[in-house]
A and B are shown apart, each in its own frame.
Chain A
Amino acid sequence: MESSLDIDKEKRVWDILETVSDPEIPVLSIVDLGIVRGIELMDEPTSLTISITPTYTGCPAMDMMAAHIRIALADAGFLKVQINQTLSPAWTTDWMSEAGKIKLKAYGIAAPVAKAFNKEYLEDLQMECPNCGSTQTKLISEFSSTACKALFQCKDCLEPFDYFKCH
């Protein structure tokens, strides 16, 4: 049975992880993004195991995020941190927090619009332009500055913008 002390400690670890951001999208924390899959407390007070999962298989930010997790936790006194990378279940944008979606929009990136991964939709979607709010938008490219985003353009304000793809 978990003691209230453990629950407090676990909450503290989640709070620390909230401060670690995605290096490619600094407005999102790794918790918002849903890449932290679990925290395991060890008997030794400064030991922890964290499980993370990659967004995309080739995501070059994974090593950097793992390093940032270590630094943030070491600053808080957790010195023995093991980070496991898990593949299954595969990451999905469904795990992105609602707070994360709001932050994305404020940052100028349209958040994933659908719940699950749907193969048949992309260029038919009317995305809301994060700059002017218009829904008159068009797909420019299914891949943008990173593999997780598509590039759209607003037909009203003519600004291009990124869309975080459903995945």
Chain B
Amino acid sequence: MLQHTVQTCIHSDTQLKYLLQLADNALILSHRNSQWCGHGPILEQDIALTNIALDQLGQARNLYQYAALLLTEKTGITTTEDQLAYLRDTGEFKNCLLAELPNGDWGQTVMRNFLISSYQFFLYQELQYSNDGQLKAIADKSIKEITYHVRWSADWVVRLGDGTAESHARMVQALELLWAYTGEMLEPCDYELPFIAKQSSFIKAAWEAKIAAVLAEANLIHPTNDWMQSGGKKGIHTEHFGYLLAEMQFLQRAYPGLEW
């Protein structure tokens, strides 16, 4: 009986970390993308990226709401989605480093979105078969949106990679900078294993095939370096992350409990 209780606790703790990791990736990428609002290269694409940021925020909200519900049930203390998004500090966030890196130029931004959205696509495709009903529902809903994010970002990678000498050079630079951060997404850490241990090699292979196909179409040479940076999933973040949270969390920190 005691054994059973302990296992349940471990499981729900792992589940919580897993949900937070998914949510943090969506929120932090959304925040970075939202920083383009009003600064996009042309109006239509400014609107497109802002819409993508909104989708990602919506996905993060669904995941935080679910995590908050589990936490409330577990601890008996009411926890809200806002507390999870706005009152945790750097070490508690579990997003991949790739999501938090600065936007750089438009090329770097669309490349980052392509690398992450493609991963999310294959991941959520698997989560649609999750035996956790709520996670499955969130995956069913999110993948429709992510499908458009992959199309949009892949289109831009091809357009710029196979564009002018200047745009091509920028994309080469973006890929070189971002590549070492892609490995972290693809290698499941301890709290992800119970959820995607069996699927992770398939997700990785599908992601690699998609990336290779689009890079080839974009006339970009596939990177060969395989040393990968990691840390975000364990709460060890880049120096950029504190500044990101300072901006994103300012309102709730300065005016606790403020509602829109």
| Chain A residues within 8 Å of B, Cβ to Cβ | 54, 56-60, 87-91, 117, 119, 122, 140-147, 151, 165, 167
Selecting from B50-58, B167-175, B181-189, B224-232, the interface stretch reads: B50-58
B134 neighbours in A (Cβ, 8 Å): 87
Answer whether residue B45 sits at the interface, using C-beta atoms and an 8 A cutoff.
yes
**In the bound complex, CA of A140 to CA of B137 (Å):** 32
**In the bound complex, CA of A117 to CA of B256 (Å):** 42
Taking a contact as CB atoms closer than 8 A, the residue among A60, A117, A145 that contacts B144 in the complex is A117
With A58-B57, A142-B148, A142-B152 known as contacts, the answer to whether A151 contacts B62 (CB < 8 A) is no
Answer whether residue B13 sits at the interface, using C-beta atoms and an 8 A cutoff.
no
A145 touches B47 (CB 8 A): yes
Taking a contact as CB atoms closer than 8 A, the residue among A56, A60, A144 that contacts B47 in the complex is A144
A142 touches B55 (CB 8 A): no
A57 touches B61 (CB 8 A): yes
Q: Report the nearest A residue to B52, measured CB to CB.
A: A143
A146 neighbours in B (Cβ, 8 Å): 51
Contact residues, B126-150 vs A (CB, 8 A) = 133-134, 136-138, 140-142, 144-145, 147-148
Answer whether residue B214 sits at the interface, using C-beta atoms and an 8 A cutoff.
no
B62 touches A57 (CB 8 A): yes
**In the bound complex, CA of A60 to CA of B61 (Å):** 12
**In the bound complex, CA of A123 to CA of B137 (Å):** 29
B137 touches A87 (CB 8 A): yes
A88 neighbours in B (Cβ, 8 Å): 133, 136-137, 140-141
**In the bound complex, CA of A5 to CA of B31 (Å):** 51
A141 touches B142 (CB 8 A): no
Answer whether residue B108 sits at the interface, using C-beta atoms and an 8 A cutoff.
no
Answer whether residue B48 sits at the interface, using C-beta atoms and an 8 A cutoff.
yes
Answer whether residue B44 sits at the interface, using C-beta atoms and an 8 A cutoff.
yes
**In the bound complex, CA of A165 to CA of B48 (Å):** 14
Answer whether residue B39 sits at the interface, using C-beta atoms and an 8 A cutoff.
no
